[in-house]
């Protein structure tokens, strides 16, 4: 979704198209994040990962708030001049909000290795290595399919946003030679 929204934003020519597309993008992202927050709130992790889900929920909630601010500012510009609104201050606030969004997304990216670690079965194999995942081959396949959808049309190398980079890191980790929970132990 993020890639198509970024494409739409880059194709908007006039300021009104840019603000309108920005409103659509912010609202779409808010809806997706709220869905993710609801799903995450139903989950719990044991130690040492017990703070991972609340941290992710916090990042996502903050991102929802930032998108709400962007949505409100874009709406004011799109509505046209009204007395008592400081449009210069709003124009200055937009890049600040975008920078804060990027920092929030970076936090999610930095949590990606921990997300993968929650999939590891910490029981060592006969070689005393952690070599198994706690998910089955089918679950790993389903997760990889979901990541492939996210990464569709994304070049392997180059500049990516933090969410695409997170998906790439997670996919790379899942493609390593870990055995799944339903495979034999050695």
pLDDT tens, residue by residue, 37-56: 999 999 999 999 999 999 99
Contact 60, 40 (CB under 8 A): yes
Please list the residues that pair with 121 across neighbouring strands: 132
| pLDDT higher at 155 or 139 | 139
Task: Determine the pLDDT at residue 7.
Answer: 65
Cα distance between residue 85 and residue 147, in whole Å: 43
Cα distance between residue 161 and residue 165, in whole Å: 6
pLDDT at 181 over 70: yes
* Alpha helix ranges (H) inside the chain: 2-11, 15-41, 52-79, 87-117, 137-151, 162-174
pTM, entire model: 0.85
Among 30, 22, 27, 25, which Cα is nearest to 78's? 22
Largest CA distance in the chain: 74
Give the number of residues written for the chain. 186
Share of the chain above pLDDT 70, in %: 95
Task: Determine the pLDDT at residue 154.
Answer: 87
Per the prediction, the chain carries an average pLDDT of 92
Task: Determine the pLDDT at residue 158.
Answer: 82
Task: Determine the pLDDT at residue 4.
Answer: 60
pLDDT at 23 over 80: yes
Cα distance between residue 124 and residue 186, in whole Å: 10
Tokens of 20: 């309108």
Tokens of 150: 């996210």
pLDDT at 1 over 60: no
């Amino acid at each position: 979704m993020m890639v198509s929204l970024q494409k739409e934003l880059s194709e908007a020519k006039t300021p009104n198209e840019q603000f309108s597309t920005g409103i659509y993008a912010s609202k779409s992202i808010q809806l997706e994040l709220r869905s993710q927050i609801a799903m995450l709130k139903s989950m719990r992790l044991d130690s040492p990962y017990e703070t991972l889900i609340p941290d992710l929920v916090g990042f996502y909630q903050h991102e929802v708030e930032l998108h709400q601010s962007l949505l409100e500012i874009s709406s004011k510009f799109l509505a046209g001049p009204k007395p008592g609104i400081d449009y210069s201050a709003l124009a200055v606030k937009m890049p600040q909000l975008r920078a804060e969004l990027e920092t929030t997304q970076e936090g999610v990216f930095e949590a990606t290795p921990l997300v993968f670690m929650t999939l590891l079965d910490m029981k060592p194999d006969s070689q005393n290595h952690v070599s198994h995942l706690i998910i089955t081959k089918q679950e790993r396949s389903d997760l990889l399919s979901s990541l492939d959808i996210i990464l569709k049309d994304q070049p392997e190398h180059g500049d990516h946003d933090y969410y695409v980079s997170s998906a790439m890191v997670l996919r790379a980790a899942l493609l390593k030679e870990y055995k799944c929970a339903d495979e034999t132990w050695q």
